[in-house]
Chains A and B, each alone.
Chain A
């Protein structure tokens, strides 16, 4: 099987869907002539032309709204945010228009649109460019929210997102665009809403997604050296949440840690902990712990940033704690 970078898997997904369906088009800053700020749209302008690969000025509210308006007319827009930090200025469009149109119009209109781009802290970008938007968007009824960590998942889930009749938020990671993984030549789709066990184990359940997936796998490896058998669940979709996969694993291991990029207060991790304690209370042998950002704005300085972002060591320590080691 060929090995592709995540950015290539994303590009292939867009390319294949644009070839398959001429209602699909992409718009955003630098997606065309520049070939994408992170090269996720490389070559698409040459293949599809300016009608379907649309460069925009720096107007996130404007082009998000245009995407929503076009989706309401039956087109299938992909809106690229150069980073999800910039989606904050388009938040009203996503919250009040994309997520609500189908409901507010009593089903007369739908909004099949994908908002995609890199999310969460990369490396030394300062507080305004290092934020994880998972909780903001997963909070909103009407949206689906996906966060991918491998080339295989990126391609299969982005294709599903583009075909989905609902508005979908699709989180990628700037620091992971170059990571390689096996992607089959033949077409495949990954259903939205299904978690994936990235490593199976018997002692502790480690629930994670996005940029924390490789860190969590690293922590699991360290734990194995200490004879602690960790099961790593990559959620892949944050809304709808694959609660069954989480509960099944927790009932097996009786212990859980949630590791993710994002603040703790009201975060997606808090939602997961709530579900575990509600549904699997009698199976727990220890309080569920979270490893995520510290409850702080992100500084630029490298050493400070490294403390705030959950590391493999921090995750390992939590795994040991819930295992009474």
Chain B
């Protein structure tokens, strides 16, 4: 295909540039290293030597037009080749040439959304502080002029000792320069009882030392694209999906043992509890396909594939990468995949394709020490399983109180497609699989 010549960045501070003059014309044969244009940068006008060779098919940039770095300025290729295909494929760069809008439509949806959110963002960010600011700023300015507000000179250790022994600095005569209360003064006061306990000096605006409480203004964080998506989808979930919740306790002793044996015996394997949870959920869905379902206006969609979404907390929000056909994957393969997805999610390197099309989700806050919680069903799915930490706790076995590793799992269901008994059966299978985890290795 033809080669796009981009507007080069010719200095470290250059952000845009101008083709001041062309030294080539359409049809010329250009060699690598040949001067093809004069480029005006923020620093100088420089000769631009071509990195590419070929026949000039098209000069895209008009001389004098201000273009961003990376914008296509010319197209080289073989004699008679059509430059439009290469130009269309180049897409991304903001073209300053004759068709500025053309490539925009071909961008990935995510990119379009990004650009839109970037344009839309400033408005709310600007409007909000005007509303919020006056209400909160007032108390800080109107700090009361009481006697407690007068600064009492005292050395840091004198302050600390007074605080620790419940003495009020205002009751202690300072012997240091400018009447500074020093360590010896507090010690004398403590011994002689001359410093009064700081009663009466409490108020709603100051602390016991007369220091005003500090009020800080609200800050508005302009929403990122991710934050907007979360907001939109969660409102949709809460408003449109009739939720109900089922919680079950799972004994994880056998699962923990299996996990440590697996990790010790297979090189490079690091199966997590979450991997076991996903594997068990996938296997349970295979047995209860009526839970692998979502609502649509045409009727309940019985999903053919078991594609499990895995909620991953990332900076600024969360994303839900998808493990496809999870029930068909070995634990080791699944574990490798969740680790890879998790890492790339945190690095924000996931392809949008990897975050769409799940039929069921798992959310785990166990690593934060959460015992149990209820998650919200992702629109497009019928249920989500929320799991808490695996922790030692009391259990009754054969009438005896014993300590077991326990984990609580809560299934949130869309009542339009899943009823209580359906969810309960799923959970019972899920629990049985984890309590006898060898069953995860049994086919069917």
Question: What's the least CB distance linking B167 to chain A, in Å?
Answer: 16
Question: What's the least CB distance linking A205 to chain B, in Å?
Answer: 13
A324-B157 contact in complex given A285-B182, A285-B183, A286-B182, C-beta closer than 8 Å: no
Contact with B along A229-266 (1 / 0, CB 8 A): 00000000000000000000000001000000000000
- Residues in B with CB closer than 8 Å to A95 are none
B157 & A284 in contact (Cβ 8 Å cutoff):
yes
Question: Could you say which interface size class chain B belongs to?
Answer: 10 to 19
A282 & B156 in contact (Cβ 8 Å cutoff):
yes
A285 & B175 in contact (Cβ 8 Å cutoff):
no
Contact with A along B151-189 (1 / 0, CB 8 A): 000011111100000000000000111000011100000
- Residues in A with CB closer than 8 Å to B160 are 282-283
Q: Measured between alpha carbons, how far is A199 from B160 in the docked complex, in Å? A: 29
Nearest residue (CB) in A for B175 is: A324
Which of B156, B160, B182 has the largest count of A CB atoms less than 10 A from its CB? Answer: B156
- Residues in A with CB closer than 8 Å to B159 are 282
- Residues in B with CB closer than 8 Å to A286 are 155, 176, 182
Query: From residue 284 to 335 of chain B, which have CB atoms closer than 8 A to chain A?
Result: none
Q: Measured between alpha carbons, how far is A308 from B214 in the docked complex, in Å? A: 45
Q: Measured between alpha carbons, how far is A48 from B333 in the docked complex, in Å? A: 67
A283 & B156 in contact (Cβ 8 Å cutoff):
yes
Q: Is A281 an interface residue (CB 8 A)?
A: yes
A283 & B157 in contact (Cβ 8 Å cutoff):
yes
A282-B182 contact in complex given A324-B175, A324-B176, C-beta closer than 8 Å: no
B182 & A324 in contact (Cβ 8 Å cutoff):
yes
Q: Measured between alpha carbons, how far is A324 from B183 in the docked complex, in Å? A: 11
Which of B155, B160, B184 has the largest count of A CB atoms less than 10 A from its CB? Answer: B155
Query: From residue 276 to 316 of chain A, which have CB atoms closer than 8 A to chain B?
Result: 281-286
A281-B156 contact in complex given A324-B175, A324-B176, C-beta closer than 8 Å: yes
Q: Measured between alpha carbons, how far is A261 from B159 in the docked complex, in Å? A: 34
Nearest residue (CB) in A for B163 is: A282
A282-B176 contact in complex given A254-B183, A324-B182, C-beta closer than 8 Å: no
Question: What's the least CB distance linking B164 to chain A, in Å?
Answer: 10
Q: Measured between alpha carbons, how far is A284 from B176 in the docked complex, in Å? A: 13
Question: What's the least CB distance linking B216 to chain A, in Å?
Answer: 23
- Residues in B with CB closer than 8 Å to A281 are 156
Question: What's the least CB distance linking A288 to chain B, in Å?
Answer: 11
- Residues in A with CB closer than 8 Å to B177 are 324
Q: Measured between alpha carbons, how far is A231 from B82 in the docked complex, in Å? A: 86
Contact with B along A100-113 (1 / 0, CB 8 A): 00000000000000
- Residues in A with CB closer than 8 Å to B176 are 286, 324
Question: What's the least CB distance linking B183 to chain A, in Å?
Answer: 4
Which of A282, A283, A284 has the largest count of B CB atoms less than 10 A from its CB? Answer: A282
- Residues in B with CB closer than 8 Å to A324 are 175-177, 182, 184
Nearest residue (CB) in B for A251 is: B157
Q: Measured between alpha carbons, how far is A286 from B154 in the docked complex, in Å? A: 9
A282-B157 contact in complex given A254-B183, A324-B182, C-beta closer than 8 Å: yes
- Residues in A with CB closer than 8 Å to B175 are 324
Q: Measured between alpha carbons, how far is A282 from B160 in the docked complex, in Å? A: 6
Which of B157, B159, B176 has the largest count of A CB atoms less than 10 A from its CB? Answer: B157
Q: Measured between alpha carbons, how far is A283 from B156 in the docked complex, in Å? A: 6
Question: What's the least CB distance linking B153 to chain A, in Å?
Answer: 12
Contact with A along B389-405 (1 / 0, CB 8 A): 00000000000000000
Question: What's the least CB distance linking A283 to chain B, in Å?
Answer: 5
- Residues in A with CB closer than 8 Å to B183 are 254, 285
Question: What's the least CB distance linking B104 to chain A, in Å?
Answer: 44
Question: What's the least CB distance linking B152 to chain A, in Å?
Answer: 15
Question: What's the least CB distance linking A261 to chain B, in Å?
Answer: 28
- Residues in B with CB closer than 8 Å to A282 are 156-157, 159-160
Q: Measured between alpha carbons, how far is A324 from B160 in the docked complex, in Å? A: 19
Which of B159, B177, B183 has the largest count of A CB atoms less than 10 A from its CB? Answer: B183
Q: Measured between alpha carbons, how far is A282 from B158 in the docked complex, in Å? A: 8
Query: From residue 121 to 173 of chain B, which have CB atoms closer than 8 A to chain A?
Result: 155-160
Q: Measured between alpha carbons, how far is A285 from B158 in the docked complex, in Å? A: 7
- Residues in B with CB closer than 8 Å to A283 are 156-157, 160
Which of A282, A283, A285, A324 has the largest count of B CB atoms less than 10 A from its CB? Answer: A285
Question: What's the least CB distance linking A78 to chain B, in Å?
Answer: 42
Nearest residue (CB) in A for B177 is: A324
Query: From residue 333 to 371 of chain B, which have CB atoms closer than 8 A to chain A?
Result: none
Question: What's the least CB distance linking B159 to chain A, in Å?
Answer: 8
- Residues in A with CB closer than 8 Å to B155 are 254, 284-286
Question: What's the least CB distance linking B3 to chain A, in Å?
Answer: 36
- Residues in B with CB closer than 8 Å to A254 are 155, 157, 183
Question: What's the least CB distance linking A69 to chain B, in Å?
Answer: 32
Question: What's the least CB distance linking A285 to chain B, in Å?
Answer: 4
Q: Measured between alpha carbons, how far is A286 from B181 in the docked complex, in Å? A: 10
Nearest residue (CB) in A for B154 is: A285
Question: What's the least CB distance linking B163 to chain A, in Å?
Answer: 9
- Residues in B with CB closer than 8 Å to A284 are 155-157
Nearest residue (CB) in B for A277 is: B156
Q: Measured between alpha carbons, how far is A286 from B157 in the docked complex, in Å? A: 9
Q: Measured between alpha carbons, how far is A74 from B182 in the docked complex, in Å? A: 57
Q: Measured between alpha carbons, how far is A282 from B186 in the docked complex, in Å? A: 14
Nearest residue (CB) in B for A324 is: B176
Question: What's the least CB distance linking B111 to chain A, in Å?
Answer: 37
- Residues in A with CB closer than 8 Å to B156 are 281-285
- Residues in A with CB closer than 8 Å to B158 are 285
Question: What's the least CB distance linking A189 to chain B, in Å?
Answer: 38
Q: Measured between alpha carbons, how far is A284 from B183 in the docked complex, in Å? A: 9
Question: What's the least CB distance linking B342 to chain A, in Å?
Answer: 30
- Residues in B with CB closer than 8 Å to A285 are 155-158, 182-183
Query: From residue 167 to 213 of chain B, which have CB atoms closer than 8 A to chain A?
Result: 175-177, 182-184
Q: Measured between alpha carbons, how far is A286 from B183 in the docked complex, in Å? A: 9
Q: Measured between alpha carbons, how far is A324 from B182 in the docked complex, in Å? A: 9
Question: What's the least CB distance linking B1 to chain A, in Å?
Answer: 40
22 A-B pairs in the complex with CB atoms less than 8 angstroms apart: A254-B157, A254-B183, A281-B156, A282-B156, A282-B157, A282-B159, A282-B160, A283-B156, A283-B160, A284-B155, A284-B156, A284-B157, A285-B156, A285-B157, A285-B182, A285-B183, A286-B176, A286-B182, A324-B175, A324-B176, A324-B177, A324-B182
Please name 13 further chain A to chain B contacts, defined as beta carbons within 8 Å, in addition to the given A282-B157, A283-B160, sorted by A numbering: A281-B156, A282-B160, A283-B157, A284-B155, A284-B156, A284-B157, A285-B157, A285-B158, A285-B183, A286-B182, A324-B175, A324-B177, A324-B182
B residues with CB within 8 A of A? 155-160, 175-177, 182-184
Going nearest first, the 5 A-B pairs with the smallest beta carbon separation are A285-B183, A285-B155, A282-B160, A284-B156, A285-B157
